[in-house]
Amino acid sequence: MLLALQRRMDSALTFNALSYGLVGLLWVAGLVLSLVSIRKESRCGIPLKGLMGLTVAVMGLCTFIALLAAFAKKTEAFEKDHRSRRQSDIRERLAAMSG
**Residue 6 scores a pLDDT above 60:** no
Cα→Cα distances 38→33, 58, 94, Å:
9, 18, 71
pLDDT value for 53: 82
- pTM here? 0.55
- Tell me the pLDDT tens digit for each residue of 10-42: 677 777 788 888 888 888 888 888 888 888 888
Calpha distance 99→93 (Å, rounded):
10
Sequence letter at residue 1: M
Q: Where are the domains of the chain?
A: 2-98
Confidence of residue 84 (pLDDT cuts 50, 70, 90): low
